[in-house]
Structure 1
Amino acid sequence: MLASSICSKAQVNLDYYLPKNISFNKTIPVPLAVVGHEVGEWHITHDKLVSYMKELAKVSDRISIEERGKTFEGRPLLLLKITSKKNQSRIEQIRKNHIKITDNESFDVSKEPIIVYQGFSIHGNESSGANAALVLAYYLAAAKGENIDNLLDNVVILLDPVMNPDGLQRFAHWANTNKSNIINSDSNDREFHEVWPGGRTNHYWFDMNRDWLPVQLPESIARVNTFHDWLPNILTDHHEMSTNSTFFFQPGIPQRTNSLTPLINQELTKKIGEYHAQALDKIGSLYYSEEDFDDFYYGKGSTFPDINGSIGILFEQASSRGHSQESENGVLTFPYTIRNQFITSLSTLDAALDMRIEILNYQQEFYKKSRSLYEDKAIVFGDAKDLGKTNELAKVLKKHKIELHEIKNDFEINGKKFKKNYSYAIPLNQKNNRLVKAMFDVKKTFKDSLFYDVSAWTFDAAFGVDLARNVPLNKIGKEVKELYKKKGRVTSNSIIGYLMPWNEYYTPRALHKILEKGLRAKVSMRNFKNNGKSYDYGTIFIPVQNQNLSQRELFMVLDRVAQENNLSIAGVNTGQNIGIDLGSRNFKAIKKPKVAMLVGKGIKSYDAGEIWHMLDQRFDMKLTKLDTDYIKDVNLDKYSVIIIPNSTGISIDIKKSIGAWINKGGVLIAYKNTLNWLKKANYFMVDFKYPELNEVKNVIFEQRKLLEGAQLIGGAIFKARIDRSHPINFGYKNNEINLFRNSTIFMKPDKKSYNNPIQYTNEPLVSGYVSVKNLNILKNTIPLKIQPLGKGKVIGFTDNTNFRGFWFGTNKLLMNAIFFNNIM
């Protein structure tokens, strides 16, 4: 695999990548002239990449550039629109005409350009893509001749040079600072072993190639907005895989394609693949297709287009991870990986040009078929007590340009109550009805038992909202342009105190603000009525007496908190209630939590990042991140709560420190595999259930991995009963909850039923794949156990309550564990 022109010092120039016998416009600067090094000599940093792209846009009449937003770290999210000078002069009209193709089946596609979105390095340490984008942008700006003119007259390229700027910058720094003058290909070298968390993820350690459907991150918001604005015909997603691999392009494994994806989509993908094969054959690069990966989960860049009338294509290049690394296929150089990415970028454009009318017709037919699937029905979702998470789901739908309507009046269906201004309707006679179906799809049977990603993501379950299908259109009203906004306020000034229901999603943020002010607050352990109004378990009571603020100051602080969080806080004129009175011992004092979380080696960065993001971005709470490298030297007594996300291994010294801290009164919240070492250390007394190892017959060696994989729970949704009187469940209005699970950790229930506040039902599967064996084991087990240890306690979750930042429906379980652990 080592190109002969690449020596031990990785001397390479642009000619190595570019097609032969093509002349280039000398007025267009090569990357070296702007970034200061040849492509592939160093890993491009994001700032240099931005400088080059902006310079190209300045000097080339083929390129216009758009800054679509910024990352969490403030880096610009660029989009280059590349086409002929003639097309640039009417670029907006081309976009509008392209959308008309999808709205009008009689619109003539023959004279319209095809739209190709080319995206690179959504995983920051898969950087050959972003570096290839430098070569591609130069080629499209500078190449001369009839072929390039024909291409740019008939194709509009939306070039996203790096979809993860923060991760790319992190990785480029690592690779460059560990590069030697004499390139060392020894795979043991530090260059190939990033420190935790690595450059794959964004600022909050999210895998952004799982966020195309949930759209929770600024990078995703930018690119999904571009996608729906343009509806590109082809979207390419350039990745890297293990060093000992070769090169992969889609289609993936055929039987693992989502059944909602039209068969012709995969046929066109395969036809485009022939262009990749021919291009790679010309340069002698090895490749494969249809043996790996899949097109099932619609939240990936290569699959999301498939439910939107486009064709998504995944590329996976074996990764050098640095500048040159030994592999089973010989020495793999960074320039070689860049060249493969560049060559398949060109083969994509060749296919788009040759298949232009065929692919435009496919997209037009896709939306024609969608219109034939119109139903005079609607899906209605909402939560009569929680507009916050209802709106969070509505925001996602809006980002996908899904039309929302109000409901005319309150109504009840199948025992679920839908309240006007707390519910939204999705009419199924709209353009994106297939996308709606995909987002709310429920699947329990599958052609295959292996999945590259999750097997279920049903959005009403994820957001914890009630859902009604097949609602008649006469129950819905006008389209909702702006989402409902609950006017936050304190109802009246009080000399007794104030009551804040705990049902709304953002009440933890409000409570944190109140405690930050040094105010006293209590939580209700029982239901009650005050002045005829009912209050649930978990209602927060803020008394007026013995506060550090005057009565007037307290009112003003609470009113501001209510406004900022869109909450209603009631001032009460009596402490006498039906049920417990406000002076009752059943109102328990709440202390301001001081929260820390273990990060670093041995901790799963995805899980840690999701918790950090939630507390930091949604609830405005400080979180101290304690690295496993130095935690043993930290005085843990200053923290009341420590969270340990899913972990793979923690040193004995850390375990001892954590154990001593718990015994002195600390509260440990632990997830998934962390429970295993807690049990071994005698910090968590729990009985696990394990599947029986039955004798396996008639399975040949070739099929062994299929058998093993079928016994995993890769990501499915399960139903559990909840005891709403238990503090872990405060704020939930239903007696059941939908939980996401991607582990095979099963805990036996306690003999005392009140110690099982959350317990899987006897028929728990809501959506997704699970083997019969695992489903039988899961029934009636518990996903949560709370256990005292000395003066402290351990709260253990078998699964992630914050999955990928969009599982809003179980976020409150963690917040309850943080705020109410002293009364559990």
Structure 2
Amino acid sequence: MKHISILLFIIHFLVLYVNGQKVDLNYYLPDITYDSSIPTPEEFLGYQVGEWHVSHDQLVYYMKELASHSDRITIETYARTHENRPLVLLTITSPKNQSNIDEIRKTHVSLSDPKESGQPIVNMPAVIYQGFSIHGNEPSGSNAALMVAYYLAAGQGDYINDLLDNVVILFDPCYNPDGLNRFASWVNTHKAKNLIADPSDREYSEAWPRGRTNHYWFDLNRDWLLLAHPESKGRIANFHKWKPNILTDHHEMGTNSTFFFQPGIETRVNPNTPQKNQDLTESIAEFHAEALDEIGSLYYSRESFDDYFYGKGSTYPDANGGIGILFEQGSSRGHVQESINGLVTFPFTIRNQVTTALSTQKAALNLRADLLSYQQEFYKGVKELVKKNPVKGYEFSSGKDKAKAKHFIDILLAHQIKVYEQGPDSYLVPLDQTQYRLAKTIFEKVTTFEDSLFYDVSAWTMPEAFDLDYQEIQGNLKLGNLVSEPIEIDGRIIGDVAKYAYVFEWNEYYAPKLLNKILNAGLRAKVSSEASTYNISNGTKSFGLGTIVVPIQNQELTASEMHNKMKEWAAETYINIYSVNSGKPSKGFDLGSPSNNNLIKANVMMFVGDGVSSYDAGEIWHLLDTRYDMTLTKLDVNDARSADYSRYSVIIMPAGNYRDLSVDALERWVANGGTLICYKSAIDWAKRNKLVNIETVSSEKDTSEERQPYHMISENNGRNVIGGAIFNTKLDLSNPLMYGIENDEMASFKRGTTFYELTKNVYASPAIYTEDPLISGYITKENLKALSGTAAVFVGGKGSGKVVCFADNTNFRGYWYGTNKLLANAIFFGHTISRSATSR
């Protein structure tokens, strides 16, 4: 009895020790010998891992400290975040391998070349890429990285020597430095000496926009394919430099959850992914299960998440001959929190991440030959896939917008997809190349699916997002010149110093950036509402609707100063600006025509804060700040009552509920001539407050009264969701909101099932969904029928002001370059829309 009491006391003491965050090294790591010359995380930080949330600078400094003490580690900075924080990558392997690391890398990469299909793998190390905390408020990963890196640097014994001889570990301790630092600051600031486990405590309720996202509030785990951010661009460069066999992505989920590892739901695997990938994922999972069994942690697999969207960390490797592994740990979201599974402590969450990081290494060691063989066969099998596919390639053209095509090609090249220049402004991507699967998924349109539920989007067809003309090629391909470097584009003045005006077209992507520079410099500009042809230095040129005219006379700059500025701005924005010496056209309207509307400087404000979608707001901020070079005031909705709206010409309401936002001052501002831009659910606020006259359309749902089994609830409810699909819209190109768009049809990305009837004013819906709008992605027949013919863009108003409404996100994830134009047009031309073309 005495022994039992002592045992119970020890167990009780250990539980308190963990809940109080006081744990020792062996709580996290195997009880082996460690090199005493290498500092432990506790010795370096001054606290044990799990007592506090590590800041990003502390994390990086410790990684550098390890590299300075260990001949197993080299470290490099591979990118910097928007907040200028370094992203670092450690290459960890045996000293012997380090001495020959470049040759090992080249030999490993050769496995992805079908021409090197005979490359022997007997003595070749496997390569794994271990990355942590791409969501900043899922911090157990990056805090676990401290312990895992120490283990690899200081651990002694036959097993770790064998591991480092046969595996190269690419170690990325934090995928999202800005988000991690934001979250660490929050929870450390609110940590009490006596830890509070109550979920209602402020520690567990982050301030908007929370730490999940990067500086511009983007989810970086949706950017692996899209590459809108420096973090992702650097990471993908690392990936293709090595082409790892396994890539791990350590996340967190709800506090009441346990621990998840892949494989996920079987029916939600991208059909371009080979079955062998899932078989190996299952084999790797056995190592995770064994390791978690040893420490008694609850876990599950196969019941959640999916491997469909190739733009996530756990799926991108699947299209590149590797195995992507997602880990999801039930989160403490601070230091300790109550859950249905008992108290979830920060050290406990870190321990599970450490455990599965080590089990991944063990799996790579034991499955080394299988992983290398799979990678080799993955690329050898491309030829057979090409033969079976009637589509042999995709041809696309830039049209009049060379910048969009350049950025699209930049993304293709970053993913090592071969592109060939076929002629002026025409390009070809053949499918007969090693990156067959990735090229196919970027271009293909998919409308049939095995499963109706998706963890993320069901479509991402990228040439549609860029609004590029493209087509499938099914015959023999004649390849032009290989594009081996990013395409260079430029802009210049066409002609000498203008005597009458400078003119440029609006179709180019960076035209809003150029116009903003002109207006900010205090110069007057006009926008043409009619197409005309003017004499230029080397002949005549036709200019379409939306052409910008900057007259020479009555400006604050002299003609010579204007010429110098225009030359400078043309180069900065990659746009050709034309010198015109007479206002008389050879065809069309005079440059001084009253049909040319005066433009005003865009002073833009956007609502942010609680209730506003930080994703949608961040995408708008990112577009205006980084691409259009515009200033944007971000006003918290809680400060709206004291705001002076008269400072702004444009106010943007991203998707949000805006329940507590008063309409009075905003209504007066609109009535006095302001342009209000409402996205998605913000339209409901404008509708309730009678700033736009619009009605919603109810989608038809399955009204069958047939009894359904209980376990089908989630699937039956989920199949009506539009998680993300691409639809076709018909445009009125004469409307100022459509200036600069070449074709009268454009793809739009839609999430959600709120549809809007056409406005009663026949001029107020300049973009509508076509009668058969589905381009790519999943939607039920009932929702498709309801969506057809509804309004995608519509305009309301009050007094002399306009309310521009976008049913969809024109800036989704930073890669919808095509529909970005719609927001720019609303900002710069919204005030020029006729009052007669609004729905009031």
TM-score when scaled to structure 2?
0.95
Q: In the superposition, relative to structure 1, how do residues 102 and 668 fare at CA in structure 2: closer, same or farther (>3 Å)?
A: same
How many Å apart are 1:664 and its aligned residue? 2.6
Give the counterpart of 2:348 among 332, 336, 342: 336
The match for 2:44 among 27, 34, 41 is 34
Deviates more, 1:746-755 or 1:536-545: 746-755
| Residue 147, structure 1, aligned to residue 159, structure 2 | yes
Query: Quick check: 1:722–1:735 contact (8 Å CA) kept in 2?
Result: yes
SS state at 2:451 partner: coil
**Which letter maps to 1:716?**
A
SS of match in other structure, 2:237: helix
Structure 1 gap ranges (5+):
410-419
Q: What residue is the counterpart of 1:433 in the other structure?
A: 436
Checking the alignment, whether the CA contact within 8 Å between 1:498 and 1:569 is kept in structure 2 is yes
Answer with 641-650 or 737-746: which moved more.
641-650
1:471, CA displacement in angstroms? 6.8
Instruction: Specify the SS of the correspondent of 1:64.
Output: strand
Q: Tell me which moved more, 6-15 or 546-555.
A: 6-15
Of 410, 413, 418, 1:403 maps to 418
Map of 1:498 onto structure 2:
502
Tell me how far 1:382 sits from its aligned partner. 2.1
Tell me if the contact between 2:700 and 2:786 (Cα under 8 Å) persists in the aligned partners.
Answer: no
**Match of residue 119 from structure 1:** 131
1:243 paired residue number: 255
Which letter maps to 2:511? T
Superposed counterparts of 1:548-587, under 5 Å: 548-577=556-585, 578-587=587-596
Counterpart of 1:427, as a letter, is P
Among 14, 19, 44, the alignment partner of 2:25 is: 14
Q: How far apart in 1 are the matches of 2:18 and 2:499?
A: 81
Task: Tell me the CA shift for residue 183 of structure 1.
Answer: 0.9
2:475 counterpart of 1:464: no
In the alignment, is residue 687 of structure 1 matched against residue 695 of structure 2?
yes
2:328 alignment partner in structure 1? 316
**Partner SS, residue 394 of structure 2:** strand
Larger deviation, residues 510-519 vs 697-706? 697-706
SS at match of 2:759: coil
C-alpha distance in structure 2 between counterparts of 1:744 and 1:678, whole Å: 18
- 1:712 is matched with 721
Inter-partner Cα distance in structure 1 for 2:799 and 2:782 = 37
| TM-superposed deviation, 1:429 | 2.4
Looking at structure 1, the residues matched to 370 and 795 of structure 2 have their Cα atoms a distance apart, in angstroms, of 60
Structure 2 letter corresponding to 1:689: V
Is 1:793 the equivalent of 2:798? Answer: no
Runs of 4+ in 1 over 6 A off after TM superposition: none
Per the TM alignment, residue 694 of structure 1 is displaced from its structure 2 partner at its CA by 5.1
Question: Equivalents in 2 of 1:717, 1:399: separation in Å?
Answer: 24
**Structure 1 residue 572: deviation in Å?**
1.5
Take 2:617 and 2:355, find their aligned partners in 1: how far apart are those partners? 37
CA RMSD of aligned residues (A): 1.5
TM-score, normalisation: structure 1: 0.96
Which residue of 449, 452, 463 corresponds with 2:452? 449
Amino acid at match of 2:220: M
Could you tell me which residue of structure 1 aligns to residue 60 of structure 2? 50
1:809 corresponds to: 818
Deviation for aligned residue 1:754: 2.8
Are 2:683 and 1:675 equivalent residues in the alignment?
yes
- The 2-side partners of 1:780 and 1:556 are apart by 48
Task: Identify which of 373, 379, 400 aligns with 1:385.
Answer: 400
Tell me the distance in 2 between the aligned counterparts of 1:485 and 1:572: 27
5+ residue gaps in structure 2? Answer: 1-10, 834-840
Partners in 2 of 1:253 and 1:405 — Cα distance? 38
Secondary structure of the structure 2 residue equivalent to 1:6: helix
Look up the SS of the partner of 2:270 in the other structure. coil
Amino acid at match of 2:668: A
The letter of the residue matching 1:523 is: V
- 1:601-750 to structure 2, matched below 5 A, reads 601-653=610-662, 655-692=663-700, 695-696=703-704, 697-750=706-759
Among residues 531, 544, 548, which one is paired with 1:536 in the alignment? 544
Give, in angstroms, the shift of residue 690 of structure 1. Answer: 1.1
Following superposition, the deviation at residue 34 of structure 1 comes to: 1.2
Matched position secondary structure for 1:597: strand
3-state SS of 1:287 partner = coil
Contact 1:317 1:337 in 2 (8 A): yes
Moved more, 3-12 or 524-533: 3-12
Partner Cα separation in structure 2 for residue 8 and residue 320 of structure 1: 11
- 2:5 corresponds in structure 1 to none
By how many angstroms is 1:101 displaced? 1.9
How far apart, in 2, do the equivalents of 1:29 and 1:344 lie? 23
Q: For 1:486 and 1:302, how far apart are their aligned partners in 2?
A: 35
1:414 counterpart residue number = none
For residues 473 and 225 of structure 1, the distance between their equivalents in structure 2, rounded to whole angstroms, comes to 32
Matches within 5 A, 1:69-468: 69-103=79-113, 104-374=116-386, 377-407=392-422, 409=423, 420=424, 422-468=425-471
- Distance in structure 1 (CA, Å) of the matches to 2:93 and 2:330: 30
Query: What SS class does the counterpart of residue 65 from structure 1 fall into?
Result: strand
Say if 1:8 and 1:182, in contact at 8 Å, map to a contact too: no
CA deviation profile, 1:512-547 (whole Å, cap 9, x unmatched): 111111111111101111133211110111111111
**1:64 corresponding residue in structure 2:** 74
Q: How far, CA to CA, are the matches of 1:745 and 1:116 in structure 2?
A: 43
Query: 2-side partners of 1:500 and 1:472: how far apart?
Result: 39
Q: 2:804 touches 2:826 (CA, 8 Å); kept in 1?
A: yes
Q: Is the 8 A contact 1:394 1:424 kept in 2?
A: no
Q: 1:471 to 1:559 in 2, by over 3 A?
A: farther
- 1:417 aligns with none
Deviations 1:24-57 (A, max 9, x none): 1111110011111100010011111111100000
**Whole-angstrom distance in 2 between the partners of 1:694 and 1:517:** 58
Percent identical among aligned pairs is 50
Deviation at 1:723?
A: 1.0
Per-residue deviation at 1:628? Answer: 1.4
Residue type at the aligned position of 1:458: T
1:374 to partner: Cα distance: 4.3
Change (3 A) 1:274 1:484: closer
- Where does residue 413 of structure 1 map in the other structure? none
Taking the aligned partners of 1:558 and 1:120, their CA distance within structure 2 comes to 46
Deviates more, 1:288-297 or 1:479-488: 479-488
Whole-Å separation in 1 of the counterparts to 2:821 and 2:412: 22
Counterpart CA distance in 2 for 1:198 and 1:778 is 34
C-alpha displacement of 1:702: 2.0
Judge conservation of contact 2:142–2:174 (CA < 8 Å) in 1: yes
- What residue identity is the alignment partner of 2:85? R
What CA distance in whole angstroms lies between the structure 2 residues aligned with 1:19 and 1:555? 70
Whichever residue aligns with residue 451 of structure 1, its letter is F
